[in-house]
């Protein structure tokens, strides 16, 4: 298997895990408070990664004692990204949150043009215009669908959007930090910092009455965090960033398809999704726009 094929498979795995993540978070929120879910995700991911690094590269643990200031800022941003996304899912739905969170990669591309002086192409300008159009269609139609729940929906959208902006901030800083530090070393602090920040807000009492199924779900959420980010790092190692970005941006399609299937099956353990034709049109425009903005043509090798 070529490195390119390995990279694509790792990117598909990341998209697959993130596609199911939103649904699993929505289900978990039925029994566990959002802040507790976020704390568990970081705690499980940090413990597994710390154990691995203590065996493979003990020296990497030093970053927990004396982290760079930029890394602290990145950790704060990533902490809120998780919370904003979690609250967005809690107040709206997995598909809604998955679509709105795509403003993160689009904002990152815009930041690259503004702050890193990257050249903007006509394709990207078209992508930005399509994104605005798509969000307008999707948002206006979802407001009509969720009659009587406008304030809740608006709150969920704002939470998700703030999480997307936090992710873009984290990604911009991460782009600088990876030039001096290994990704796994950075992730040690990025996962460890939120476990301390959110700990005072966690209520452990309700957890004592959870059945083993809910504990397995929490374990899945934590391992999802660890494996998805690990796969993303491997994908970027083996193939071009533009290919990885385009594959990952398609992860909302997995969420939409699975939620559509669950709605059709009329399951009782998650609320059904409600979409109009115009909502789906808006969602399609946003996904196409994200691909246009983030994707780049690979250079031909002569």
Question: Residues with Cβ < 8 Å from 191, sequence gap 6 or more?
Answer: 42, 45, 46, 49, 225, 226
pLDDT of residue 233: 77
Give the span between the Cα atoms of 260 and 229, in whole angstroms.
Answer: 26
b/e per residue 35-56 (b: at least 16 CB within 10 A): bbbbbbbbbbbbebbbeebeee
pLDDT at 48 (0 to 100): 93
- Which tokens belong to 49? 């990664």
Predicted local confidence at residue 299, as pLDDT: 46
pLDDT at 300: 41
Q: What is the per-residue pLDDT for 242?
A: 66
70-91 b/e (C-beta count within 10 Å ≥ 16 → b): ebeebbbbbbbbbbbbbbbbbb
Can you give the pLDDT at residue 277? 86
Place of tokens 């998805």: 228
pLDDT for 52 equals 93
3-class secondary structure for the chain?
Answer: CCHHHHHHHHHHHHHHHHHHHHHHHHHHCCCCCHHHHHHHHHHHHHHHHHHHHHHHCHHHHHHHCCCCHHHHHHHHHHHHHHHHHHHHHHHCCHHHHHHHCCHHHHHHHHHHHHHCCCCCCHHHHHHHHHHHHHHHHHHHHHHHHCCCCHHHHHHHHHHHHHHHHHHHHHHHHHHHHCCCCCHHHHHHHHHHHHHHHHHHHCCCHHHHHCCHHHHHHHHHHHHHHHHHHHHHHHHHHHCCHHHHHHHHHCHHHHHHHHHHHHHHHCCCCCCCCCCCHHHHHHHHHHHHHHHHHHCCCCCCCC
pLDDT score of 295: 67
Q: Mean pLDDT by 10-residue block, N- to C-terminus, for the chain (302 residues)?
A: 84 91 94 94 94 93 94 96 96 92 84 76 87 88 77 92 93 85 90 96 90 94 89 80 76 89 90 85 89 64 34
CB burial readout 155-168, b (16+ within 10 A) else e = bbbebbbbbbbbbb
Residue with tokens 């800083």: 173
pLDDT of residue 113: 78
Burial of 145 from C-beta contacts in 10 A (0-12 / 13-18 / 19+):
middle
Question: pTM for the whole thing?
Answer: 0.86
Two tokens at 223? 């391992």
| Residues 6+ away with beta carbon under 8 Å from 226 | 44, 45, 48, 49, 191
């Amino acid at each position: 298997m070529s490195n390119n094929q390995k990279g694509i498979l790792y990117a598909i795995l990341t998209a697959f895990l993130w596609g199911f993540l939103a649904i699993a978070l929505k289900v978990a929120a039925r029994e566990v408070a959002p802040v507790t879910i976020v704390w568990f995700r970081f705690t499980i991911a940090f413990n597994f990664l710390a154990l691995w690094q203590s065996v493979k590269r003990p020296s990497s643990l030093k970053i927990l004692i004396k982290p760079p200031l930029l890394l602290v800022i990145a950790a704060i941003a990533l902490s809120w990204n998780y919370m904003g996304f979690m609250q967005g899912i809690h107040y709206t739905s997995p598909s809604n949150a998955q679509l709105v969170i795509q403003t993160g990669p689009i904002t990152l591309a815009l930041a690259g043009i503004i702050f890193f002086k990257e050249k903007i192409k006509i394709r990207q300008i078209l992508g930005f215009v399509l994104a605005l159009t798509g969000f307008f269609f999707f948002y206006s139609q979802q407001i009509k669908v969720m009659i009587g729940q406008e304030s809740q929906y608006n709150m969920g959208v704002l939470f998700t959007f703030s999480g997307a902006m936090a992710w873009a901030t984290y990604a911009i800083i991460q782009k600088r930090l990876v030039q001096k530090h290994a990704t796994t070393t950075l992730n040690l602090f990025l996962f460890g910092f939120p476990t301390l920040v959110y700990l005072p807000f966690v209520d452990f009492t309700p957890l004592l009455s959870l059945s083993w199924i809910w504990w397995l779900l929490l374990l899945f959420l934590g391992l999802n965090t660890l494996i998805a980010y690990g796969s993303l790092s491997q994908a970027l190692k083996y193939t071009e960033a533009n290919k990885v970005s385009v594959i990952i941006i398609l992860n909302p399609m997995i969420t939409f398809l699975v939620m559509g299937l669950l709605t059709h099956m009329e399951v009782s353990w998650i609320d059904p999704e409600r979409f109009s034709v115009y909502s789906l049109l808006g969602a399609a425009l946003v996904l196409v726009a994200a691909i246009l903005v983030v994707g780049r043509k690979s250079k031909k090798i002569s």
